[in-house]
Amino acid sequence: MRKASVLLGAAFGLALGGCGFQLADSKGVATQIPQSSLHLVGGSPEFRQALRRRLRGGGVKVVSGDAAADLVVHLEGPQERHQVIGVSTDMDAREYEVGLHLGVRLQRPGEKPSASTVLSRYQHWLFDPDEYLAAEEERGYLKKELRGELIEALLLRIRAYAEQ
């Protein structure tokens, strides 16, 4: 019995490894940001919290106040947008394009803020009307995934600005 469970565990591990699955790395882009401290201004509370967690996991210090920060990050949003891109023969919406848009301005202390940049991420969502109760859960999962992609794009933008 023990041998079978070990073999089953090994097969499961190989299957997950083969499909590209890997445990999330709390380091990565955030550790490559040369600024030692950032101050976050604006943005939705849940987005700021997720960004703060990601930055701290990567060893970047998040501070309060412009004076203590090496870089100030001004956030606007994210705003959700969705549009119907496919309908059924009954003219019911079947496929949506869900997007999150984030406005960003970066600023070093004592300098003018950079021009506003809009970061956007989109995903397609095929809606199944028979699974109506699961639709909100799916939409929430998509938004969480899009938020993670926006955070990664923002970290790349911060790193590029910091290296200028």
pLDDT for position 27: 45
Q: What CA–CA distance (Å, rounded) separates 85 from 102?
A: 22
Residue 162 pLDDT greater than 90, yes or no? no
pLDDT of residue 143: 84
Torsion from C-alpha of 27, 32, 35, 38, nearest 10 degrees: -40
Domains, in order of start, for the chain: 30-162 (3.30.160.150)
Percentage, residues of the chain above pLDDT 90: 15
Q: Mean pLDDT throughout 60-68?
A: 80
